[in-house]
Amino acid sequence: DGGITQSPKYLFRKEGQNVTLSCEQNLNHDAMYWYRQDPGQGLRLIYYSQIVNDFQKGDIAEGYSVSREKKESFPLTVTSAQKNPTAFYLCASSWGGNNEQFFGPGTRLTVL
């Protein structure tokens, strides 16, 4: 069964804690992306990665970090420096220069 998985579905964090969101894909896609979605807003790009061991900042990278040690995995860490981390986080992937991005089911992060 091919696709993108994100875990956990719901995540609660206390202020001041770092938390890592998981994203795995078995579509053999080269590129992977992290987006943040807030209520009533579109998706905003946090980070993206074109190949293993390489990634670039998106529009709202401050307070986030990523790694890309394996082609199929692109975890996102929300650090304590992120001032307003409560949001719905979406991971996506695509073939290299192909247009279509496939999205995972998302992780809803709530800071208590």
Partner 1 sequence: QQQVKQSPQSLIVQKGGISIINCAYENTAFDYFPWYQQFPGKGPALLIAIRPDVSEKKEGRFTISFNKSAKQFSLHIMDSQPGDSATYFCAASSGGSARQLTFGSGTQLTVLP
List of residues contacting partner 1 (CB under 8 A): 4, 30-31, 33, 40-45, 48-50, 56, 58, 90, 92, 94, 96-106, 108
As a whole number of angstroms, the distance between CA 67 and CA 27 comes to 19
Nearest-approach distance from CB 75 to partner 1, in angstroms: 17
Residue 31 or residue 77: which is nearer to partner 1 going by CB?
31
- We find the least distance from the C-beta atom of residue 99 to partner 1, in angstroms, to be 5
CB of 44 to partner 1, least distance (A): 8
What is the spatial distance between Cα 8 and Cα 30, in angstroms, rounded to a whole number? 23
Would you call 71 helix, strand, or coil by DSSP?
Answer: coil
Q: How many CB atoms lie within 10 A of CB 87?
A: 22
Cβ proximity to partner 1: between 79 and 88 the closer is 88
